[in-house]
Chain A
Amino acid sequence: MSAVIDDHTQEHDHGPAGGITRWLLTTNHKDIGTMYLIFSFSMFLLGGTFAMVIRAELFYPGLQIVEPEFFNQMTTMHGLVMVFGAVMPAFVGLANWMIPLMIGAPDMALPRMNNWSFWLLPCAFLILVSTLFMSGGGPNFGWTFYAPLSTTYGPPSTTFFIFAIHIMGVSSIMGAINVIATVLNLRAPGMTLMKMPLFVWTWLITAFLLIAVMPVLAGVVTMMLMDINFGTSFFDASGGGDPVLFQHVFWFFGHPEVYIMILPAFGAVSQIIPAFSRKRLFGYASMVYATGAIALLSFLVWAHHMFTVGIPVAGQLFFMYATMLIAVPTGVKVFNWVATMFRGALTFEAPMLFAIAFVILFTIGGFSGLMLAISPADFQYHDTYFVVAHFHYVLVPGAIFGIFASAYYWLPKWTGYMYDESLAKAHFWMSFIGMNLAFFPMHFLGLAGMPRRIPDYALQFADFNMISSIGAFMFGATQILFLLIVVKCARGGVAAAAKPWEGAEGLEWTVPSPAPYHTFTTPPVVE
């Protein structure tokens, strides 16, 4: 613990410790943020590899590479790893790195708990992935693990899967509590709520969603655990329960969960578009209210995933209307971004390219979401590749592009060097093309009647599946390039200025690049 030269010689003014303990024992938000980001990217590769198995099997009709049992495990693990391992931790990583820098805080509010939140994740995923090697195989019932397929008919490893989910839940809840405490309690003097950068706002609301729904997920897996191991009958009609109860509780978590995966991306894009438009964000206040409205509405729409399970018609109508309403605040956001770009002075560095693609492609995903929301039409779309197309459009060019945009935007601040712009542009264009090639044909497949979660399909679906697989391989291979760019940037290159982007605003650009190990030990004053 060598003291770093600093004019406030306080107890915590030390640089990073050496060796592995720096990472194992750290309480520093930047270290923890880095670990989250690295973890998330490795999970993205793992989940992506599972997706490659899926796409390889679906390249041709017939069974050639994997057996159906294993295919189902791949689908399930792909969904789980991407959602809980790649997207959520990436956003927590960004929050860890950026929120204290953006609000002028010395660190996260509860630094030790922060470290625990992180380390629980590798632990949870170790357990989750280990189920693949257990007798009977890993979870094979979809990432939505509907009972009774996952209870009475689940493989023995289901119990391990349940505990892995519990651990992820603990991690997310603690992470979210930390974010809320930090934002509400550690803002620099003068940083009123309505002056906070939008990324901070969206994260505040995301954290609220997390604390509200992760316990519900914990609850539903606990019910599963009891049904499997202790003879309760939550999901068994012979004892007066109902398999559909599972779906209600799951989706009460599940729908807010999908906004958990997109709101921070909204926030990041709301930082990036103004920066590269050299123009203030249009409609700051309405952005904040729209985010709040989306979050509140997200609690009232869960049954739109269950339109075909036979909920009474009044319920069906309620959930249809409520779901459609979400288009309004989301529309406000889209319009605000466009209005921000309108009559700005635009440049198109990698963060901006990803941000623009985000707006366009997310909106397309939102449109298909709106189509799914129309309950009678959903009777045709439900559980087909149309749904798969929808959610990959909101997740891949939504969440994932949002993360790429943020990574390029803040890499100079993290590493102190500029990334290689031409490689980054190549990364963008290949991702953009690959991703559309992979996921756009899925709309057609779904409309033509291809169900999801099948390892083999009727012949009329063959052509589009092949195109889709080619696109997926292209998109997947391109991500190796991203790894390269980041490693290259971390190792050196053109030094980055404190504020490398002409139009960027915010406290994070007032500290040097790379950001010193400790920042804002004396809070800055915001005018």
Chain B
Amino acid sequence: MGVHAKQAGAVAAGLTIPTLVLADWGINMPAGVTATSNDIYGLHMTILWICIAIGAVVFGVMFWSIFAHRKSKGHKPAHFHEHPLVEVVWTVIPLLILVIMAIPATATLVDMYDTTESDIDIKVTGYQWKWHYDYIDEEFGFFSALTTPRDQIYNRTAKGEHYLLEVDNEMVIPVGKKVRLLLTANDVIHSWWVPEFGVKKDAIPGFINEAWTRVDVPGVYRGQCTELCGKDHAFMPIVVRAVPEAEYLAWVDEQKAAAETERELTQKDWTMAELMERGEGVYARACAACHQADGSGLPPAFPALKASALVTGPADGHLEVVVNGVSGTAMQAFGGQLSEADLAAVITYERNAWGNNTGDMVTPKQVFDFKNQ
């Protein structure tokens, strides 16, 4: 076997060089910025090398046969067709290799499952097609949706640097703290993934999954939803900004204050123009994905709002659908997602845009009363 072993060695060397070079091109798994992601990276590389080594041996022998034992070279076939010892050996050795792989894998896995003793808890809810982050200890929360303009997606303008991986409101976490994620979903299954954290966990409607991460390096980290969740599955990215703790605390205070101002908007007296303007923005952010920017929808899955009998009918029916949703369909209950001001604005907008000239104005107070009737 001496010759074959050498042959195999040569093939192995041949295989490793391109892999090393390719690794520099940034096509390998990122090692990431958490202990977990580093462990995973280590596991990944270990298995990869083991597989490459086994491949080198197996293919080495095979190529040797292809090269040396061909009929055209006058090679005469041997007659052996079994060899119990060899067969036992090549059953046992892979088994041992597997055991060697399983040990670090088990340790990493157990560690990944340990969500106890967290410093911060964030509830993450997947919606068609955006994320909601709820800082449950601090009592504020917000949606986070894609900001890449349609024009870039449809190739009408040049694509930006973070094409498809940019959001309006980033999730912010402090570095060095154990953050526990409580993942769930509102409609279908989504999956929350940030490669550099080594965290991927499904968000399942009706259930909560737990995951955790502790980020060591400040920075902005990007990921995507990784479970097919309908038409805009490709368009619900995740952006997490990890910042030093002081910065984080300042941000938390800011968020709380913002939430307060938002609540005050309900009391404000609104004009039609103000509502329409605000409504257009809300509509583009929250509704256009399904009902389309021009209100034409994508029937039959998503009805048109333009000239819809419901939208141009009495305001209460319209409020009912938007605030409480239509259960069992993709039409969510926006009552809990949008502020009164936003709801009023978007409803007013829908009732007056695209030729739906009802002239009605729905105020935040009306929405507030509707919600609390």
Contacts and interface: CB of A to CB of B under 8 A. Distances in A.
- Direct A–B touching, Cβ under 8 Å: yes
B62 A341 contact: yes
A444 B27 contact: yes
Contact of B112 (A280, A325, A359, A379): A379
Contacts of B279: none
B278 interface: no
B232 interface: yes
Interface stretch (B99-107, B245-253, B307-315, B345-353): B99-107
Contacts of B193: 383, 451
Interface stretch (A88-96, A176-184, A316-324, A485-493): A316-324
Contact of B202 (A309, A316, A325): A309
A337 to B, nearest CB: 8
A464 interface: yes
Interface string A133-147: 001110011100010
Contact of B195 (A64, A283, A342, A380): A380
B207 A244 contact: yes
Interface string A367-411: 100110011110110111000000000000000000000000000
Contacts of B69: 277, 341-346
A341 B44 CA distance: 32
B300 A136 contact: yes
Interface size class of A (residues with CB under 8 A): 35 or more
Contact of A363 (B47, B55, B77): B55
A327 B94 contact: yes
Contacts, number: 286
Interface stretch (B147-155, B172-180, B317-325): B147-155
Contact of B87 (A69, A308, A332): A332
A64 B77 CA distance: 57
Contacts of A456: 153, 164, 234-235
Nearest to B208: A310
B40 A380 contact: yes
Interface residues of B, number: 98
Contact of B328 (A152, A309, A454): A152
A40 B61 CA distance: 35
B305 to A, nearest CB: 18
A285 interface: yes
Interface of B is mostly: mixed
A376 to B, nearest CB: 4
Given A313-B110, A341-B69, A356-B66, A153 B230 contact: yes
B209 interface: yes
A448 B30 CA distance: 7
B223 A375 contact: no
Interface stretch (A9-17, A235-243, A260-268): A235-243
B184 to A, nearest CB: 10
Contacts of A458: 162-165
Interface string B206-245: 1101100000000000011111111111110000000000
A243 B189 contact: yes
A255 B30 CA distance: 29
Interface in A255-304: 277-286
Contacts of A67: 231
Contacts of A140: 230-231
Contact of B224 (A60, A340, A451): A451
A331 B113 CA distance: 31
B206 A237 contact: yes
A24 B339 CA distance: 65
Nearest to A460: B26
A453 interface: yes
A149 B164 contact: no
Contacts of B300: 135-136, 156
A423 interface: no
B59 A308 contact: no
A459 to B, nearest CB: 5
Given A313-B109, A364-B55, A453 B228 contact: yes
A242 to B, nearest CB: 7
A155 interface: yes
A456 B233 CA distance: 10
A306 to B, nearest CB: 8
Nearest to B183: A310
A68 B231 contact: yes
B159 A62 contact: yes
B335 to A, nearest CB: 18
A343 B102 CA distance: 35
Interface of B: 22, 26-30, 37, 39-40, 43-44, 47-48, 51, 54-55, 58-59, 61-62, 64-66, 69-72, 75-83, 86-87, 90-91, 94-95, 98, 101-102, 105-106, 108-110, 112-113, 152-155, 159, 161-165, 187-189, 191, 193, 195, 198-202, 204-207, 209-210, 223-235, 298, 300-301, 328-330
Interface of A: 60-64, 67-69, 72, 135-137, 140-142, 146, 148-149, 152-153, 155-156, 236-238, 242-244, 277-286, 308-310, 313, 316-317, 320-321, 324-325, 327-328, 331-332, 334-335, 338-348, 356, 359-360, 363-364, 367, 370-371, 374-377, 379-380, 382-384, 444, 447-449, 451-460, 464
Given A148-B189, A343-B80, A454-B233, 8 more contacts: A62-B152, A64-B154, A149-B229, A282-B82, A284-B81, A376-B39, A444-B28, A457-B164
17 contacts: A60-B155, A153-B329, A236-B206, A244-B204, A320-B109, A328-B91, A328-B95, A331-B90, A331-B91, A338-B62, A342-B69, A345-B76, A348-B70, A370-B47, A380-B44, A383-B191, A449-B195
Q: A-B pairs with the 8 shortest C-beta distances? A: A237-B206, A454-B234, A444-B27, A310-B209, A367-B51, A280-B81, A343-B78, A345-B71
